């Protein structure tokens, strides 16, 4: 009997979640219509993918929707923009960041780009034809050889021999052992060129430490758990910044792309959205810290915040 009741409750919870998500999707579509950019079926699928991840994260953290300033953080507008850009969480191109807002006493939900999302943008919209990417870290004991190529005017990596971990006991996921990192974009300079030109960006120990210190949390949970991944993200952001002048966004997506660009506020360590192109965005990395989950709370469909075309988004 108890098992049957649990199964019925699970079905009821799933139905409630599905109904809630459909309601949220309608709000995203409402914002798209307000901006005169109605979503295609494919874009609706991208939007629903993002909303499902938002919903799941809110549930995992045991939050109620009354604790979240959905309209203030512009959640529906964010989802609309990322959906139109064709970015998804399913492919690790985006992540969900939920944080306290000291001014409102509520929580803000912000959607941010992972380095996979940046690479996707470069492949789609960079005027230089990028075929693929490669990235790696450099640790103590590695033999890395760089050389300037006078034909291309670029610095290239000629050799990267990694120190044998078993022999010298180097933990390649420990920050103290990492002395640098690089990210490479392989570019086909012309349609008829069979060779690929490697455009490389290298970051040193000092740059890595700056990224680590920019994390707003004292515990540095994600950095300590997956240091290598965070260092590679930093290198990827530097490569993205290098190619920024070559990005040509379609005019119909220009506004959505501009509203999804990020900048690091060095005084607070917080990530804020900006419209104008600045250099500070190269300091942004994923600061998605783990939060201990509390018991999940049920959500009523009528609690879905409704889009208000006259709502003015508060400044950050």
pLDDT number for residue 133: 97
Tokens at 242, concatenated: 């290098």
pLDDT number for residue 194: 84
pLDDT number for residue 93: 93
pLDDT number for residue 286: 37
The enclosing H or E element of 228 equals helix 227-243
Treating both helix axes as pointing N-terminal to C-terminal, what angle do 2-34 and 75-85 enclose, rounded to 10 degrees?
A: 80
Spatial CA neighbour of 85 closest among 59, 136, 47: 47
Residue with tokens 């998804």: 88
Residue 152, SS3?
A: coil
Burial class (CB within 10 angstroms; exposed 0-12, middle 13-18, buried 19+) of 240: buried
pLDDT number for residue 166: 67
The enclosing H or E element of 6 equals helix 2-34
Whole-number Å distance between alpha carbons of 286 and 57: 16
Tokens at 174, concatenated: 């420990």
In the chain, where are the structural domains located? 2-114+291-303, 117-248
10-residue mean pLDDT series, the chain (316 residues): 44 59 92 92 94 93 92 93 93 91 92 92 95 96 95 94 77 92 95 90 95 80 88 94 94 92 41 30 36 34 47 41
Paired strand residues for 296: none
């Amino acid at each position: 009997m108890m098992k049957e009741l649990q199964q019925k409750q699970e079905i009821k919870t799933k139905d409630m979640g599905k109904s809630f998500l459909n309601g949220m999707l309608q709000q995203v579509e409402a914002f798209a219509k307000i901006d005169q950019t109605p979503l295609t079926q494919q874009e609706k699928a991208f939007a629903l993918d993002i909303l499902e991840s938002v919903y799941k994260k809110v549930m995992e953290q045991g939050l109620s929707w009354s604790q979240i300033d959905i309209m203030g953080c512009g959640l529906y507008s964010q989802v609309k923009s990322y959906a139109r850009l064709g970015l998804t969480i399913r492919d690790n191109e985006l992540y969900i960041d939920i944080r306290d807002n000291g001014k409102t006493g509520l929580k803000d939900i912000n959607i941010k780009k992972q380095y996979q999302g940046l690479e996707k943008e470069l492949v789609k919209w960079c005027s230089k034809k990028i075929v693929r990417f490669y990235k790696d870290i450099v640790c103590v004991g590695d033999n890395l050889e760089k050389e300037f190529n006078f034909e291309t005017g670029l610095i290239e990596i000629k050799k990267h021999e990694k120190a044998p971990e078993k022999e010298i006991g180097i933990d390649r996921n420990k920050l103290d052992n990492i002395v640098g990192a690089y990210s490479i974009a392989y570019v086909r300079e012309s349609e008829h060129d069979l060779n690929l030109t490697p455009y490389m960006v290298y970051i040193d120990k000092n740059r890595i430490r700056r990224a680590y210190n920019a994390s707003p949390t004292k515990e540095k949970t994600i950095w300590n758990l997956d240091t290598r991944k965070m260092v590679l993200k930093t290198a990827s952001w530097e490569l993205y910044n290098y190619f920024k002048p070559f990005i040509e966004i379609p005019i119909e997506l220009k506004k959505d792309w501009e509203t999804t660009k990020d900048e690091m506020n060095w005084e607070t360590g917080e990530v804020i959205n900006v419209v104008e192109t600045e250099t500070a965005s190269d300091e942004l990395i994923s600061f998605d810290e783990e939060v201990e989950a509390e018991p999940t709370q049920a959500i009523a469909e009528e609690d879905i915040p409704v889009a208000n075309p006259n709502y003015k988004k508060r400044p950050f």
